[in-house]
Amino acid sequence: MTSEKAHIAAELLFTADSAVALTGAGISTPSGIPDFRSPKSGLWEGVDPLTVASIYGFRQDPQAFYDWIYPLTKLTVNAKPNPAHYALAALEDQGRLKGVITQNIDMLHTRAGSHVVYELHGHFREATCVHCFTVFDAEPIIQQFLLDHNVPHCSLCGGVIKPNVILFGEQLPIQTLMVAQDLARKADLMLIVGTSLEVAPASDLPMLAGRNGAKMIIINLEPTHLDNAATVVIHANAAEILPEIVQQMENIHEHDSQQ
């Protein structure tokens, strides 16, 4: 059954002219980074996300924010891309995907070799002083934080430094969002992977694509509210099913070129 669906998904990707992927935390769980909805991950236990992971919470109590984000930072720094990330990079290489729009902050798409990646919720590559707005390379700051657990401070003005990840209550990077929306509008196929589709405005992108007639493939462990609108829904592990879809596309290609 799953193989049949993988075959349909492969055919859709093979015949699409402007396919785009939308990914969420679920594509990175096989890399060891828990999503926000996984039970037992501990990331949300005993904390109110709207407080600790919000820009207001950050400004009020940066140490509480850094205490909360410590395990996620550690896992992210040590994580490696998994076969799902590599499959999307391969699809882009083969000219089958215009780009990846991601809600993830873990940078695993670019590390897997995807070139066109729109990181809607920011990333851990840079960090900014909330006082003087100087932007720093995040790597040495993160390494120091992983050693001492302390709130990083700006070397120029002493202000608190915040990683360039988007917190609740913060604007998304407007240019990135606009390009992503444009890509969605022009897409004839949207490949949605590992997202609960519950966080706006990322969750609006499939509707934007759908309004212009785009088809939808959804790959997610659990059902989403858009399953009914999709052409194919595969409830499976993205790290297993995406490589299978890429393989099926190669079979279609070989079959076509033999005829």
Separation of CA 46 from chain center: 25
- Give 228's Cβ-side CA count (13 Å radius): 1
C-alpha distances in Å from residue 208, one per residue of 161, 188, 190: 35, 11, 10
Among 105, 112, 117, 138, binds ligand CNA (CB under 6 A): 105
The yes-or-no answer on residue 121 being catalytic is yes
Say which amino acid occupies 237.
N
Q: Does 164 bind ligand CNA (CB under 6 A)?
A: no
To which residue do tokens 């996984």 refer? 38
User: Which of 77, 179, 199, 229: binder of ligand CNA (CB under 6 A)?
Assistant: 199
Q: List binders of ligand CNA among 165-194 (CB under 6 A).
A: 194
By CB under 6 A, residue 220 contacts ligand CNA = yes
The span from the CA of 165 to the CA of 172, in Å, is 9
26 in contact with ligand CNA (CB under 6 A): yes
User: Minimum CB separation from ligand CNA for residue 197, in Å?
Assistant: 6
Q: Residue 148 has which token pair? A: 């001492």
Which pair of tokens denotes residue 31? 């890399």
Report d(CA 116, CA 119) in Å as an integer. Answer: 10
Task: Please tell me the count of residues contacting ligand CNA according to CB under 6 A.
Answer: 27
Considering the complex, state which of residue 170 and residue 188 has its C-beta at the smaller distance from ligand CNA: 170
In the complex, which residues of this chain contact ligand CNA (CB under 6 A)?
A: 24-26, 28-30, 33, 35-37, 103-106, 121, 194-196, 198-199, 219-222, 237-239
Query: Annotated active-site positions, please?
Result: 121
